[in-house]
Amino acid sequence: MRRSERLVVMTKILTDHPNRIVSLSDFGNELKAAKSTISEDLAIIRQVFQDMKLGKVETIAGAAGGVRYVPLASMEKICRTVGLVCRELADPQRILPGGFLYMSDLTSAPDLMTSVGEIFATRFCDRKPDAVITVEARGIPIALMTARALNVPLAIVRRVSRVTEGTVVTMNYVSGSAKRIETMSLSKRALQPGDRVLAIDDFMKAGGSARGLVDLASEFKAEVVGIGVLVETAEPPEKLVKEYESLVVLENVDPEKRQISIRPSRWVTELMGGGDA
Amino acid sequence: MRRSERLVVMTKILTDHPNRIVSLSDFGNELKAAKSTISEDLAIIRQVFQDMKLGKVETIAGAAGGVRYVPLASMEKICRTVGLVCRELADPQRILPGGFLYMSDLTSAPDLMTSVGEIFATRFCDRKPDAVITVEARGIPIALMTARALNVPLAIVRRVSRVTEGTVVTMNYVSGSAKRIETMSLSKRALQPGDRVLAIDDFMKAGGSARGLVDLASEFKAEVVGIGVLVETAEPPEKLVKEYESLVVLENVDPEKRQISIRPSRWVTELMGGGDA
């Protein structure tokens, strides 16, 4: 096999398995090449990924060592993705009775959710989460794609306890906006004590669900080390969780004038500003 | 940029966007290379993908033409994935009261669900689906990964109608096994008349949910052109839908003896047999 051919195979394998360590021997066996040759190939891939802002290819030393591809969304990609979400959500055809916005097509769009998952993984990878959690159902695609990019398991919190979940921890909580009592339920097997957990959801209004996830995780003696949501509403400004990151802020929906006011969240705006400076 | 470097970038882009057509000019602009050079690069990638069974790289002629990566799970990959699912599900620790099996960790495992999604995409791509549908919640990860591999949208059928779904079509149906009346609800915006729809779910017992998806799709004047489930139960042998594909068959769970009997489904077994012959 020639170098050019090996590079194709190695790039494919690394891209298909974000954050998974592939040993040099595995590559060597697959490609019938010496470790030194594989090392040289990897140096090329590492450099190209860096130059073209395709993510990072990291070398891990030691017995369990090897190489892994860390998806890092570039500033350009973050801005492009957030811009797309803003444009899509600003379409007045999305306005539903009661001033709600239809966004289920976006939150389950595979390509867009792959990008959003990479962005959250980029944003939170330094918190070293062991798992991602979300509440069913609309947050699942984003959470799954974030978990995939981080190569950690996903735990899905149910709103109704199911027999197929086995022994569960069920918790009542107050939804922040509607002040209703809601229920969350998670299988005892889904999280381990000491787990560092990343909570991902599609939407935050008052933050009741996010607060619920934090409290539920603590019942497992696990700790929420980050909260990411695709869309937050500007109102109420005080949320039930202090630290969280959103991609876009929904300022206002005016069903009369059929106008939607939406903008990138602050850290994305700063990123965009930093790009111009 | 050298050829070896271009191959890395092109392989990364193709792998990241299954079934999306990338034009030669897009590659040319990104890589600052002539179309003829890009064509030669693609010939190498196409050959390596074919030789190493990494999927197919197809050329699409015409004005909207270009090249696309079609993920095709190899026979080896299908057998490996199904074997892993069988081994995992055969673990007696998964037995729950009532003879149920805990499998939520598998159905939300990003890496495994990526493989299962690729397998369903491989199995059903010739049906040319326009969309994937599933019922919340446990089927969502598999369905999302199938939709991603096929590059089509995902529509999530809800069990409870939500205000954020806008106008919905709600349908009652009889769950095949428990003979309970259940409800399915899907936003009017989620499917278009004439859509060819692939129904994906995690589990099939009597096939009530699958039957429900078929009927619900017909309310949208859409047609279910394929049904894929991860696990089917051997009992009852007569399902409420005739044509469907599963990956594994759960023969029996014996909570007393703590024994689980599970096997690959028939088409997978045939594939394995074909591999040995």
| CA distances (Å), origin B132, targets B42, B56, B120 | 30, 21, 11
Chain-chain contact of B12 with A49 (C-beta, under 8 angstroms): yes
Looking at beta carbons, which residues of chain B come within 8 Å of A109? 153-154
- Per-residue confidence (pLDDT) for residue B274, from 0 to 100: 60
Looking at beta carbons, which residues of chain B come within 8 Å of A9? 48, 52, 54
Comparing alpha-carbon positions, the chain A residue that sits nearest to B49 is A9
Write b or e for each residue in B64-83: b if 16 or more Cβ atoms lie within 10 A of its Cβ, otherwise e: eebbbbbbbbeeebbbebbe
C-alpha distance from A8 to closest chain B C-alpha (Å)? 6
Which of B9, B20, B151 minimises the CB distance to A48? B9
Chain-chain contact of A15 with B11 (C-beta, under 8 angstroms): yes
Q: pTM (2 decimals)?
A: 0.97
C-alpha distance from A220 to closest chain B C-alpha (Å)? 16
C-alpha distance from B114 to closest chain A C-alpha (Å)? 9
- Per-residue confidence (pLDDT) for residue A163, from 0 to 100: 86
Q: What is the mean pLDDT of chain B?
A: 95
- ipTM of the shown complex: 0.96
Mean pLDDT of all residues in B9-21: 98
**Per-residue confidence band for B88, with pLDDT thresholds at 50, 70 and 90:** very high
Looking at beta carbons, which residues of chain B come within 8 Å of A67? none
Q: What is chain B's length? A: 277
Mind listing the domains of chain B with CATH numbers? 3-70 (1.10.10.10), 75-276 (3.40.50.2020)
The answer to whether residues B227 and B199 touch, using CB atoms and an 8 Å cutoff, is yes
Q: List the one residue out of A180, A179, A176 whose CA is nearest residue A213.
A: A176
| pLDDT exceeds cutoff 80 at B67 | yes
Comparing alpha-carbon positions, the chain A residue that sits nearest to B148 is A110
Chain-chain contact of A166 with B11 (C-beta, under 8 angstroms): no
- Per-residue confidence (pLDDT) for residue A277, from 0 to 100: 39
Chain-chain contact of A12 with B15 (C-beta, under 8 angstroms): yes
- As averages over each run of 10 residues, the pLDDT of chain A (277 residues) reads 96 98 95 95 98 96 91 96 98 94 97 98 98 96 98 96 91 85 96 98 96 97 98 96 97 95 95 63
Comparing alpha-carbon positions, the chain A residue that sits nearest to B6 is A48
**Residues sharing a CB contact under 8 Å with residue B241, sequence separation 6 or more, in sequence order:** B207, B210, B211, B214, B227
Residues linked to residue B134 through DSSP beta bridges, in sequence order: B156
| pLDDT exceeds cutoff 80 at B177 | no
C-alpha distance from A85 to closest chain B C-alpha (Å)? 16
Looking at beta carbons, which residues of chain B come within 8 Å of A19? none
Chain-chain contact of B144 with A147 (C-beta, under 8 angstroms): no
Looking at beta carbons, which residues of chain B come within 8 Å of A137? 136-137, 140, 156, 158
Ramachandran area for residue B55 (φ above 0: left; ψ -120 to 50: alpha; else beta): left
Please state, in angstroms and rounded to a whole number, the distance separating the CA atoms of residues A46 and B56.
25
Which of B97, B138, B154 minimises the CB distance to A110? B154
Chain-chain contact of B110 with A153 (C-beta, under 8 angstroms): yes
Strand, coil or helix: A260: strand
DSSP symbol at A17: S
Which of B45, B105, B147 minimises the CB distance to A110? B147
Comparing alpha-carbon positions, the chain A residue that sits nearest to B99 is A164
Please state, in angstroms and rounded to a whole number, the distance separating the CA atoms of residues A144 and A254.
32
Q: List the one residue out of A164, A203, A137 whose CA is nearest residue B134.
A: A137
| pLDDT exceeds cutoff 80 at B245 | yes
Please state, in angstroms and rounded to a whole number, the distance separating the CA atoms of residues A153 and A133.
9
Chain-chain contact of B187 with A144 (C-beta, under 8 angstroms): no
The answer to whether residues B72 and B49 touch, using CB atoms and an 8 Å cutoff, is no
Tell which of B3, B8, B120 to mutate to test the A interface (max A CBs under 10 Å). Answer: B8
Tell me the per-residue pLDDT of B23-36, one tens digit each, with 9 for 90 and over.
999 999 999 999 99
Comparing alpha-carbon positions, the chain A residue that sits nearest to B109 is A153
Strands (DSSP E) along B39-99, which ranges? 56-60, 66-70, 95-96
Which of B5, B147, B148 minimises the CB distance to A44? B5
The answer to whether residues B48 and A9 touch, using CB atoms and an 8 Å cutoff, is yes
C-alpha B176: how far from its chain's center? 23
| pLDDT exceeds cutoff 90 at B62 | no
C-alpha distance from B51 to closest chain A C-alpha (Å)? 10
Chain-chain contact of A164 with B8 (C-beta, under 8 angstroms): no
Looking at beta carbons, which residues of chain B come within 8 Å of A155? 108
Looking at beta carbons, which residues of chain B come within 8 Å of A81? none
Q: How many CA atoms lie within 13 A of B180 on its CB side?
A: 5
